[in-house]
Each structure stands twice: as structure tokens, then as C-alpha cells.
Copies of this chain bind each other. A is one copy, B any other.
């Protein structure tokens, strides 16, 4: 059995109220009593039981974080940001992975509530109505984070996908490219991918370039990128390819490697996201850096602000992005 407040009180010859006061520094305690109590605490190594504390104060110093999969480096990055800022405010992270299962998401939202988390961050590709209901039911601060889709209803932290794509396309154009293709997963209407496509289109149209060089993928991972190029016939006329996700770009890069297409000599490739592998592969990938770590950091900061009744500012926060010019794109 661990040392409790009672033990300390007894050993110091004071009441438990007094011990509580010195531990929390909540009410004045005479110096000598304080010294004595502190001494005992140190001696016996007393640490207040946080569970008991939570029960009475309702402050668990816990933030629930529901994610898809830690194997996605951008998710891991967001979690890092969440955790690090959380720690600055003494908050701990209760982590739950769903692997994309909506049922699990629902379950965890409930579970985290019974664990008395003070706030919740959900990282998932899409939001469903069932989730909506659950969130509404418990009224704790909540932030939704996604690379793939938006939410009007809940607070989000992201970047301006439209302008980022616009800028990246402009950069490619400035490099001298005219036949620039866009590879992406455009099925879902409300996805960020559509915004990227619109950004690409505007940049192309502004320069009177053909913006119809679209290569639709069936998804957003490496294999999808590989396949998109593999299936397409008219890729020869392209000098550059703007991929809606780094993962797709890497698939494209792999396709090129396997088919003796030299990047960037034969074709320039650009991605979107700057996931960790983007700068590790060769050639290093030109891409838009989404500040995943910062996104996580800002998200939890927002929750902590809400908890502290501070002004939380905008509901939908847009963070700055960066065009990362690397080796996979070249002037022609």
C-alpha cells in the first residue's frame, strides 16, 4: 500500500487538511508546520493519488486522443505535438487507435468520457453522423484533425490547401513546365483533395495552360500512386506531375524507378504533405510542408485554452505551410 495523506498527517502530527494545504499551496500554513509537513513528505516519499484528486476536483489532467494509426508518420507527428504541448500544461495523453474503424471511434469517445478526460482530439479521415451525436452528448472541448477532410461543425486546425496547391503549381510553372499533370483521389467531394485540385486548376488556367491532365487514383497510398501511373498511357507528354499526397508521389517515384524514367531529368515530381519519408528518399521530394507537429500542438493548446476559459480565437485555425523545393523537381 502506498503512502497516503493520512500517513503524512499522522507522522507530522497535523490534520489531513493541513497536509492538503501544503501540498496544494492552497491556503496559508504557518512556516514551521509547513516545514515539518514537507519534511515528512520528503522522508516517506509521499505522492498524492491523482485518481482520488480527480474524483473530487473533476480535473483529470487527461486529454483523450483518438487516432487512426500511428504507423502513418503524420499521425505520429500530430500526436507528438499534442503530447509535448500537453506536458507543458501538465496534461497527459490517453491514446486510442481505431485503424479507421468507425465503431471503434464511437466506443473510444464513450470510453474516454468514463475515464474523465477533460478534452478530446480526434484524428481521422472522415467524420460521421454517429460521431457527431456522441461528441454533442458529452460536452467537453473537442478538436477534429484531418489531412483528408474538413469539418464546419467542429474546431479544426489545418492549412489552406487551395492556396498551397496553387502556389506549388505556380512554382512548377515558374520552373518552365507547361504540361503539368495532377494525380489525386478525387472521389470524395468534401475532401481537401478537391481544394488542392482547384488550386492547381487556377494556377494552370491563369497561365492559359491545360489543366485537364488529371490522373485519378483509387486511394491515397503508395500503391495507388504507382498504379495510377502504371494504368495511364499518355504520360509521355508530361514534364511534371503534382501529386495530391506525398504517398501518391512516392508511388509515382517508385514507378519511375522501376521503369527507367529518371526523376527529375525526365519528369519532375511534386507531392503534398512533407511526411517524414519525403526528405529521406532519393531523389528528395519537392512538396508542400504541412506542419503536422504544429497542428497537433495548436489543437491541444486550443483545448487547454477552452478549459481555462481563455479566449480561443478562430474556430478553424489555418497554419502556415511551406513549399519545400527539393530534388524531385527541376527547371526545364
Contact = CB atoms under 8 A, between A and B. Distances in A.
B94 A94 contact: yes
A-side interface size class: 35 or more
16 contacts: A47-B114, A49-B116, A51-B55, A69-B80, A71-B76, A71-B80, A76-B76, A79-B95, A83-B97, A84-B97, A92-B115, A94-B94, A94-B95, A250-B280, A257-B282, A281-B282
Given A70-B70, A95-B95, A116 B50 contact: yes
Contacts of A294: none
A281 B285 CA distance: 12
Interface string A28-64: 0000000000000000010111111011000010100
Nearest to A79: B70
Interface in A67-120: 69-71, 73, 76-77, 79-80, 83-84, 87, 92-97, 110-111, 113-116
Contact of A73 (B71, B110, B115): B71
Given A51-B54, A51-B116, A87-B96, 8 more contacts: A47-B110, A47-B113, A49-B55, A55-B55, A71-B76, A80-B97, A92-B94, A282-B282
A229 to B, nearest CB: 15
